[in-house]
A and B are shown apart, each in its own frame.
Chain A
Amino acid sequence: MHFKVRAAAKEDCKDISRMIMELAVYENMADQVKTSHEDLERDGFSPNPFYECLIAEVPDEHKTKDGYTVVGYALYFYTYSTWKGRSVYMEDLYVMPDFRGKGIGTGLMAKVAQVGVEKQCVRLQLSVLEWNKPSLDFYIAKGAEDLTAKEGWHFLRFHGQTLDTLAKEAPKD
């Protein structure tokens, strides 16, 4: 099946939002999605974007049963390692179920890798849920290494109330 990978435009945010929800449903976390397509537009397409996005598009004759031609996306941003410098972090990679097995996921990820290499990034990082075997296999086949297993890294966060509590005690300027 012919498909194209291109940089997302502001107008694509409705499709990206739709697919974000689809991915959240797959991860059994749909109730945690709070962003709207307007949030995505503001955060990705202003002078200081917080993410970049690539989308995969199929020709009209292959559109989904609901009429969509945008069938996959990869959302990423730049991070920084104090040891090695510039890195790229792939936050989301998703292809609609009917369009899997055709190289679209690989195509999207290859383009993220290319962008990363062009920007002189030393590595690409991502996180995967431990039960998500198909995704783990996909990434390991491309050379991904489990740093949680190898080096013991855990993700922590301060969220909601705990963040507010800390912030209230911030030293004054």
Chain B
Amino acid sequence: MQSAMALSFSQTSFTRPNHVLGSSGSVFSTPRSLRFCGLRREAFGFSTSNQLAIRSNRIQFLSRKSFQVSASASSNGNGAPPKSFDYDLIIIGAGVGGHGAALHAVEKGLKTAIIEGDVVGGTCVNRGCVPSKALLAVSGRMRELQNEHHMKSFGLQVSAAGYDRQGVADHANNLATKIRNNLTNSMKAIGVDILTGFGSVLGPQKVKYGKDNIITAKDIIIATGSVPFVPKGIEVDGKTVITSDHALKLESVPEWIAIVGSGYIGLEFSDVYTALGSEVTFIEALDQLMPGFDPEISKLAQRVLINPRKIDYHTGVFASKITPARDGKPVLIELIDAKTKEPKDTLEVDAALIATGRAPFTNGLGLENVNVVTQRGFIPVDERMRVIDGKGTLVPNLYCIGDANGKLMLAHAASAQGISVVEQVSGRDHVLNHLSIPAACFTHPEISMVGLTEPQAKEKGEKEGFKVSVVKTSFKANTKALAENEGEGIAKMIYRPDNGEILGVHIFGLHAADLIHEASNAIALGTRIQDIKLAVHAHPTLSEVLDELFKAAKVESHATTRTVSEKVVV
């Protein structure tokens, strides 16, 4: 046995010289314990897919080398100015999408400028994901401290937990400021020019910002994002009828707040408000709460996040008219039936939060100068984020990413789209797989998902003629979740039993938002279940929920050795 191991080790190092280069001499620093892995790899043998993997590795290596060359040529940070243009790349809008694109552009050696008419960071950092996470961090703790039953099951005693509204609001505001500064500094440090003023497109490759500054660039990215969408008939006063922009400042905690819309935003705010003592009424136009989620997940989420809390709801109704509180009268909400449009009910509450989604922010962008016609405000793009004009032809050198194109209105999707565009303009074709972009809702517990929902997958399977299977695992069986007394939750995977392709994963449970990435990476990299099920998860961790999910799946084809052998190398 000993000798066999030693032999296999030496073989490993000889048969893979290319990897020695690629992984900077890792074979020599390989811990002795990995020899056993070498033996295991030998047992699996080389397959064609294995050879392919090696080749792709080499390609990666080569491309990285060429990048290093170009980077050294532009060692003063932002790339050298080209002859005819002021910049290689101008990004209009310094939100998370623009920021992601700018950083990647500099890495690719492009001279880059970013135009911001408001504050750096955009919605996500200033009025969205970031401050809401601060509020949710508070609400999660409040909820835990107030849950006597939960505390007692730990053997903990907590006397009446309370909060200071201003303190909570400050935490959210401080976090936004901190992240905004980090974002600004990260761009300044690598030499991105941050231009202040409202930016618009003057013509091909020409941009105006501020009063009358005109600059040119080889390529332009529009990343102007979105604003809260307020349906007709709703009067927002910023005090009693508010959008997420106002709510995040937490200027008041109303006793009773109606939340119009039960998507991510509404759900997260219901979590915050109920933890801080408010009672909540959801108003949802569709027949079911949480319409965007996998039906099974939304059913369970309703059982955990809605039913036991101080929340009631009206589904299948529109809020046709909302009047802010004034003259001693409460906020009045008129509800009409979503289908028949007949008046159904009138609500009076202390406040109303409009969380009916977001509208693209594309007005005044000068799109008419390049003959682009927006669709409900969204800028039409192809799968490579290239802007399409009114006649359906591509506008050269103009791209649009993020909420403004409406493909997938998530901060990290915008950033991924930006990086994809930069890859293209720096000479490498790239198409982003939107089905591999995860989404998360940071309630307590969290909800996360990637890929298709079960009904979507079944429909696709029927159309394309493949079978769809579903497996589920419960957090109730997970040691770490039980240690935390948080056994409530499920993970669910939708997959193809014939080839092991993961079509979608949905998680509801403790730290679901952090858990989803194993699945989203697998989808992005095309990893099959039969391979990923052999991967090892530390015990006891929540990640074992996914481990069990992969292991529970029944796939007809056998494991390829690819994943395993890759592991040996690094």
Do A and B associate with each other?
no
Using a CB–CB distance below 8 Å, which chain A residues touch chain B? none
Using a CB–CB distance below 8 Å, which chain B residues touch chain A? none
